[in-house]
Amino acid sequence: MIEFLLPAVIALGGMGISGAVILYFVAKKFEVREDPRIAEILSILPAANCGGCGYPGCAGFADACVKASTLDGLSCPVGGKEVMNGVAAILGTEAIECEPTFAVVRCNGSCGQRAQTNTYDGAANCAIASALYGGETACSYGCLGFGDCVTACSFGGIRINPETRLPEFDEDQCTACGSCIKVCPKQLIQLRKKGPYVSCMNKDKGAVARKACKAACIACSKCQKVCESEAITIVDNLAFIDDAKCTLCGKCVAECPTSAIVEHLKTKTPC
């Protein structure tokens, strides 16, 4: 019996060894060598994997830094200037300072500005409520106030003000990662540079918008007329301020009859 099994065992063993040798040489031939600097950069990144840098997690950002010829346009919003200086040191290059951005809510329609017209009795979730109806007020563009953005923030940088029912940002905690932007069903949250912005997204005509909310933009064009830098445009009954063109003169803030333009002047460390 053994004399019949032994050749089969030897044959199978030989096939196994041959297969292992082939796999070894194939693995060597197609081996992908990772730049060791990627691991070095990963070791100093905050490991938030928030995507605020524009890449799929910290590993993607580290790989992009190594492959880039310059760090211009590359920034870790969580680690900030200190981390980018470390990345630059590893790569033997210079960190490029960028102007910081702030998360803002383009809705100023607090409870005092928007009268409640109905009562929502469903799940306390903005995405669900938005899919079912326009909201508890006459403004279907405004913040629903259930705090999906609060849940999405990994850094504890957002709270819902119980009196206004609007999100408020703690700028010492906010990293401008953009997680809150992705979950807002009304697309009310934006990242902006220091300066004035229109805190409204109502695209209805002036009279309709004003009736729904006392703080609504009514597209009266007064802000556009006083802006000497041509930073303000009006599209779909709604004004928008280009923060790249804005000179921070503040004339539009004073001119707005509904106080729909909010001025953000708090300083923040460059990234």
pLDDT for residue 159 is more than 80 = yes
State the Cα–Cα distance between residues 169 and 102, nearest whole angstrom.
9
Q: Which CATH class is domain 36-91?
A: mainly alpha
Least confident range from 70-79, 86-95, 151-160, 255-264: namely: 70-79
pLDDT of residue 102: 86
pLDDT for residue 96 is more than 60 = yes
Least confident range from 12-21, 32-41, 223-232: namely: 12-21
pLDDT of residue 172: 84
Q: Note whether 210 and 113 are within 8 A (CB).
A: no
pLDDT of residue 6: 64
State the Cα–Cα distance between residues 202 and 187, nearest whole angstrom.
12
State the Cα–Cα distance between residues 124 and 27, nearest whole angstrom.
53
State the Cα–Cα distance between residues 24 and 116, nearest whole angstrom.
70
For the residues 35-41, what does the mean pLDDT come to?
91
pLDDT of residue 134: 86
Domain with CATH 1.10.15.40 in the chain: 36-91
pLDDT of residue 56: 85
pLDDT of residue 51: 81
pLDDT of residue 262: 94
pLDDT of residue 30: 62
- Note the CATH number of domain 102-264: 3.30.70.20
Task: Give the H or E element holding residue 233.
Answer: strand 232-235
pLDDT for residue 31 is more than 60 = no
Domain with CATH 3.30.70.20 in the chain: 102-264
Q: Note whether 266 and 192 are within 8 A (CB).
A: no
Least confident range from 31-40, 140-149, 205-214: namely: 31-40
Task: Give the H or E element holding residue 263.
Answer: strand 261-264
Reported confidence tier of residue 175, pLDDT bands at 50, 70, 90: confident
pLDDT of residue 171: 84
For residue 87 the two structure tokens come to: 């990345």
For residue 205 the two structure tokens come to: 């005509």
State the Cα–Cα distance between residues 62 and 43, nearest whole angstrom.
10
pTM for the structure as a whole = 0.75
Distance of CA 202 to the CA centre of its chain: 22
